[in-house]
Chain A
Amino acid sequence: MKKLMTGNEAFAYGAYINGVRVGAAYPGTPSSEIMDNFSKYPGVFAEWSPNEKVSMDVAIGAAYAGTRAMCAMKHVGLNVAADSFFYAVYTGIKAGLVIVCADDPDMHSSQNEQDNRNYAKFAKCAMLEPSDSEEAKEFTGIALDMSEQFEAPVLVRSVTRLSHSSSPVVVTEKSPPPPPEEPPLYERDAQRYVMVPSNARRRHPVVEERLKKMAEFAETMPINYIEPGDKSLGIVSAGVSYQYAKEVFPNATFLKLGMVYPLPEKLIREFASQVETVIVVEELDPFLEEQLQLMGIKVRGKDIFPMIGEFSPSLVRRCAVNAGLIESPEIPPEINTNLERPIRPPMLCPGCGHRSLFHVLREAGVLITGDIGCYTLGWAPPLSGMHTTGCMGASIGVAHGIDKGGVKDDVVAVLGDSTFLHSGIHPLIDVLYNRGSTTTIISDNSATAMTGFQEHPGTGKTLQNETTKQVDAEKLVRGIGFEKVDVCDPYDIDRMAEILQDHLKSGEPSVIIARHPCVLNAKEKKEAPVVDPEICINCGICLDIGCSPLVQEDEHIRIDTMLCNGCGLCVKVCPQEAIIEK
């Protein structure tokens, strides 16, 4: 039977049917749904960890203990988890450990477009790269088997167009292997698992030797194969780029690589000897191309296809035509238009508590260091509520640094509740320890909202919907030693503004928890206010809160009642009192 699955569903399914029983992740687009889906299978343990590094350690621990494990993250999540990932390559593992990481070419929802294939080479770890959902399922199983065969973690790479695309997957009746009847005894082997220098020195040769053996194994893997075709053109490709290349070069000879590191050199040489021209079609970095060049194979790639942004069949075809590899298709006449089509960027939802907070911060004129989450959308005009955003947890350290650098501006750090628990605690300790005076605002909507409302340690629920201890942010920061701490609902903009001024003037390190649960997650919706057309002078001041239901018409402002959430912020900011709560 075939079932349509997204790549992420297929990774989860592949992990389940191949006996993974421990999964850990921190949500991040486009990878979040992998652990969401895995957690629903019977007999598995799945968790949202506070961050990717923790999730990596958890998965490594399970694999040390002899239980197959999976860890999933977005590309930049592996930066957070890299320290753990690297030691696991050295120690190796006992049961299969698969690490799925999803790159985001074109940065649909990310701060950079790093090519995580480089991590495979960097850490000396094997990496498989599926090109559709069926392969996502299959390669997850192959990765687990390989991981046990070589006693090492194996990376599986996804990209947005695999994770978030759907294609048919063969669903089997096969159930996963049953768990052992008796809990296994942990095999204590300190020389292998304690990475003090003397032990690590013994492990490094193991890593190098293993990599050589994996390269030999690559020659025999059925997922690396040649598809015979026209000998004048030989295309080397992997992952979703392979699918685009198949559309554009239907008749070429293909070398389809299921494993992108280490490479099957003999197979590649055999392929190269069969064809007149070797061309690598790969998104982002010339990862395969450079390895082929080092083998002394004459190859083209990045002189034809870009290194920046995401591929598509349109783009691959355009580049191939420009390079003279294929004939230009008969295309309909170009569409010439100068019709203005206004952009529709993502924006804070109507009723979002972050909006009220940013309104208060803008009025105060403070410098704002930001972080990663829904609230990052507040950077754009008209709210213009963020002046820096780099990565998860950066806001507080950057604010402290700006402060110590010495500027006239008042600086506040803004980050969300999930981000705070991800990587905000250590920089907050730093502010206190190093006698800083930064005011940190935790804009708390009580969910990991941007990635799909996942639970986190502050929500009181686990990924598998169990009730658990709830980390109380206020108690936590007081426990660290902060004395100036206030909690306020940002909907109360007057109180919020007062607290902010009090904190800024105090010169003390301080924390404000601005808490209003995400209205989408809490399904909170009140009746829309109405504009009194007799009073409204159409000044447009309410439009400065950047709330989509507010529409400026010829005579006065109108509120789109279908979009409006009834938060009442516009009622509070209207200087004419023309917007009236119902």
Chain B
Amino acid sequence: MINIDFLMAGVGGQGTILASNILAQVGLDLGYDVKKAEVHGMAQRGGQVDSHVRWGDKVHSPLVEENNVDYIIGFEMLEASRFPHFLKQGGAALINDYRINPPVVNLGTATYPSKQEIEALLLSRAEKVYWIEGTEIARDLGNPAMVGVVLLGALSNLVGGDQEVWLKVIGQMVPPKFVELNKEAFLAGRKVTV
């Protein structure tokens, strides 16, 4: 039984949900059964946003299970650090090298963990942690909001699937006038993890 589980973690407004929609559709187009779950509502802007995507021969639960996730995709460092216990032994984490302080850190009542601490924590399960300058790459291409597509580009190297399938789905799911730019962002991301 094939099963590939993804957990995306970010901050409201970063585009986590669009990226998870693309990832789910790619799975369906690659022939997998697919489920996806996320919580929105209270987390529209600035709150924690987690999205679960599952590909497999047959997927029952829309939620991923602890100790079973293949890939954590962190849109923000701290958010990625919340879920090491979801990773399976030997899984991987792809993390956008980007920090958004929660208000408690800005107020000086809590400390933001260091990059090294976050990496060490994830390495207690992950075989490899990939740091990706996603926001920077997206910003250089013209829009930091494309960070999700950059991360998907990096992820596509690890999970496989025909590049054309990924590009086709991106073409279908981003606003028409940003299609070419997003495809570029995806290809830029693809160069990172190889």
Whether B115 sits at the interface, judged by CB under 8 Å, is no
Task: Report yes or no: A520 in contact with B41, Cβ–Cβ below 8 A.
Answer: no
> Within 8 Å CB of A343, what residues of B?
102, 104, 110
Task: Report yes or no: B62 in contact with A243, Cβ–Cβ below 8 A.
Answer: yes
Q: Give the docked Cα–Cα distance between A164 and B51 (Å).
A: 10
Most B Cβ at <10 Å: residue of A29, A161, A551: A161
Looking at the assembled complex, report how far the CB atom of A505 sits from the nearest CB atom of chain B, in whole angstroms. 34
Q: Please, could you name 18 A-B residue pairs with CB atoms under 8 Å apart, sorted by A?
A: A4-B24, A4-B28, A29-B41, A108-B42, A166-B34, A167-B59, A240-B62, A243-B62, A313-B61, A332-B89, A335-B84, A335-B121, A340-B113, A344-B48, A346-B12, A346-B44, A346-B46, A520-B45
With contacts A165-B62, A342-B111 known, is A337 near B121, CB below 8 A?
yes
Whether A247 sits at the interface, judged by CB under 8 Å, is yes
Task: Report yes or no: A247 in contact with B60, Cβ–Cβ below 8 A.
Answer: yes
Q: Give the docked Cα–Cα distance between A308 and B16 (Å).
A: 29
Instruction: Digitize B129-152: 1 where CB-to-A-CB distance is under 8 Å, 0 elsewhere.
Output: 000000000000000100000000
A28 and chain B: residue at smallest CB distance: B41
Which of B75-83, B160-168, B174-182 is near enough to bind chain A? B75-83
Task: Report yes or no: B81 in contact with A341, Cβ–Cβ below 8 A.
Answer: yes
> Within 8 Å CB of A423, what residues of B?
none
With contacts A344-B48, A520-B45 known, is A164 near B35, CB below 8 A?
no
Whether A114 sits at the interface, judged by CB under 8 Å, is no
> Within 8 Å CB of B84, what residues of A?
335, 337
Task: Report yes or no: A451 in contact with B41, Cβ–Cβ below 8 A.
Answer: yes
With contacts A332-B89, A552-B106 known, is A341 near B44, CB below 8 A?
no
Task: Report yes or no: A344 in contact with B47, Cβ–Cβ below 8 A.
Answer: yes
Q: How many A-B residue pairs have CB under 8 A?
A: 161
Task: Report yes or no: A167 in contact with B35, Cβ–Cβ below 8 A.
Answer: yes
Whether A347 sits at the interface, judged by CB under 8 Å, is yes
Q: Give the docked Cα–Cα distance between A189 and B12 (Å).
A: 53
Task: Report yes or no: A342 in contact with B41, Cβ–Cβ below 8 A.
Answer: no
> Within 8 Å CB of B111, what residues of A?
340, 342
Instruction: Digitize B28-66: 1 where CB-to-A-CB distance is under 8 Å, 0 elsewhere.
Output: 100001111111111111111000000000011111111
Task: Report yes or no: B88 in contact with A314, Cβ–Cβ below 8 A.
Answer: no
> Within 8 Å CB of B21, what residues of A?
4, 166
Q: Give the docked Cα–Cα distance between A244 and B65 (Å).
A: 10
Residues of B within 8 A of A (CB): 11-12, 21, 24-25, 28, 33-48, 59-67, 78-79, 81-82, 84-85, 88-89, 100-108, 110-113, 117-118, 121, 124-125, 144
Q: Give the docked Cα–Cα distance between A337 and B122 (Å).
A: 11
Instruction: Digitize A1-42: 1 where CB-to-B-CB distance is under 8 Å, 0 elsewhere.
Output: 010100000000000000000000000011000000000000
Looking at the assembled complex, report how far the CB atom of A471 sits from the nearest CB atom of chain B, in whole angstroms. 25
B106 and chain A: residue at smallest CB distance: A551
Task: Report yes or no: B37 in contact with A339, Cβ–Cβ below 8 A.
Answer: no
Task: Report yes or no: A345 in contact with B47, Cβ–Cβ below 8 A.
Answer: yes
Q: Give the docked Cα–Cα distance between A204 and B66 (Å).
A: 50
Whether A185 sits at the interface, judged by CB under 8 Å, is no
Task: Report yes or no: B65 in contact with A548, Cβ–Cβ below 8 A.
Answer: no
> Within 8 Å CB of A345, what residues of B?
47, 102-103
Q: Give residues 100-135 of A contacting B (CB, 8 Å).
A: 108-109, 132
B114 and chain A: residue at smallest CB distance: A339
Looking at the assembled complex, report how far the CB atom of A523 sits from the nearest CB atom of chain B, in whole angstroms. 13
Task: Report yes or no: A317 in contact with B65, Cβ–Cβ below 8 A.
Answer: yes
> Within 8 Å CB of A388, what residues of B?
none
Task: Report yes or no: B37 in contact with A161, Cβ–Cβ below 8 A.
Answer: yes
Task: Report yes or no: B42 in contact with A382, Cβ–Cβ below 8 A.
Answer: no
Q: Give the docked Cα–Cα distance between A165 and B107 (Å).
A: 35
Task: Report yes or no: B117 in contact with A339, Cβ–Cβ below 8 A.
Answer: yes
Q: Give residues 299-343 of A contacting B (CB, 8 Å).
A: 312-314, 317, 329, 331-335, 337, 339-343
Task: Report yes or no: A168 in contact with B28, Cβ–Cβ below 8 A.
Answer: yes
Q: Give the docked Cα–Cα distance between A165 and B40 (Å).
A: 11
With contacts A520-B45, A548-B46 known, is A244 near B60, CB below 8 A?
yes
Task: Report yes or no: B35 in contact with A244, Cβ–Cβ below 8 A.
Answer: no
> Within 8 Å CB of B107, what residues of A?
382, 540, 543, 552
> Within 8 Å CB of A312, what residues of B?
61, 63, 65
Whether A550 sits at the interface, judged by CB under 8 Å, is yes
B63 and chain A: residue at smallest CB distance: A312
Whether A246 sits at the interface, judged by CB under 8 Å, is yes
Q: Give the docked Cα–Cα distance between A246 and B63 (Å).
A: 13
